[in-house]
């Protein structure tokens, strides 16, 4: 059992963490000299959001890149009662949406620097591979180091 626990830890320890607090993300990004990727998602009702998460944002290639170059923030807006977020998280997500996604687009993904300046945005599902998605981020990531 201990071996299984260690194996599962090692398996998941190389996965980047998706934060829900943009202020914490900015602090982490500034300390680590990383960019911030913000993903606005409707995790339980938006088909393109689910596809983006499964095909790109949860891919091994993206995770390997993100661990070294990005701080990740997800602002989720689920609709089903069983998936509702805490009041605090809803407020954080709404505040972030007011600033970066006032039109309520889903999925909507932004690359920002540690000060919150938008460097690139993807409106809707980017019809590309994880490699192609990463290649759009690399020039910004390389410039920030």
- The CATH number that applies at residue 111 is 3.40.30.10
| pTM score | 0.90
Mean predicted confidence (pLDDT) in 25-34: 97
How far is 112 from 129, CA to CA, in rounded Å? 21
Does residue 1 lie in a domain region? no
Does residue 10 lie in a domain region? no
How far is 93 from 40, CA to CA, in rounded Å? 9
Range from 1-5, 24-28, 66-70, 71-75 carrying the lowest mean pLDDT: 1-5
Does residue 51 lie in a domain region? yes
91 vs 145, residue with greater confidence: 91
Contact in structure between 39 and 74 (CB atoms under 8 Å):
yes
Strand partners, 36: 71, 112
Strand partners, 118: 112
> What pLDDT score does 61 carry?
97
For the chain, the domain total comes to: 1
95 vs 14, residue with greater confidence: 95
Mean predicted confidence (pLDDT) in 54-72: 98
The residue segments making up the domain with residue 48 are 20-144
Does residue 76 lie in a domain region? yes
DSSP 26: H
Does residue 56 lie in a domain region? yes
Does residue 64 lie in a domain region? yes
> What pLDDT score does 72 carry?
98
Mean predicted confidence (pLDDT) in 3-30: 79
> What pLDDT score does 118 carry?
98
Does residue 110 lie in a domain region? yes
> Residues 6 or more apart from 36 whose CB is under 8 A from it?
22, 25, 26, 29, 70, 71, 72, 73, 111, 112, 113, 114, 116
pLDDT beyond 80 at 3: no
How far is 52 from 5, CA to CA, in rounded Å? 30
Does residue 14 lie in a domain region? no
4-8: long-range contacts at Cβ-Cβ below 8 A with a sequence spacing of 24 or more? none
Scan for tokens 């809707």, then name that residue.
Answer: 124
> Residues 6 or more apart from 22 whose CB is under 8 A from it?
36, 38, 73, 92, 95, 96, 116
Contact in structure between 39 and 5 (CB atoms under 8 Å):
no
Start-to-end CA span in the chain (Å) = 42
């Amino acid at each position: 059992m201990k071996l299984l626990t260690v194996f599962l830890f090692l398996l998941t320890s190389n996965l980047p963490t998706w934060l829900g607090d943009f202020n914490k993300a900015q602090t982490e990004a500034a300390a680590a000299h990383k960019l911030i990727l913000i993903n606005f998602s409707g995790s339980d009702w938006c088909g393109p959001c689910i596809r983006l998460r499964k095909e790109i944002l949860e891919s091994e290639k993206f995770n390997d890149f993100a661990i070294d170059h990005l701080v990740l923030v997800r602002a989720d807006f689920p609709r089903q009662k069983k998936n509702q977020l805490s009041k605090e998280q809803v407020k954080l997500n709404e505040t972030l949406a007011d600033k970066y996604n006032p039109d309520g687009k889903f999925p909507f993904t932004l690359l920002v620097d540690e000060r919150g300046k938008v460097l690139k945005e993807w409106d809707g599902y980017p019809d590309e591979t994880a490699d192609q998605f990463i290649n759009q981020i690399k020039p910004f990531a390389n410039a920030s180091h």
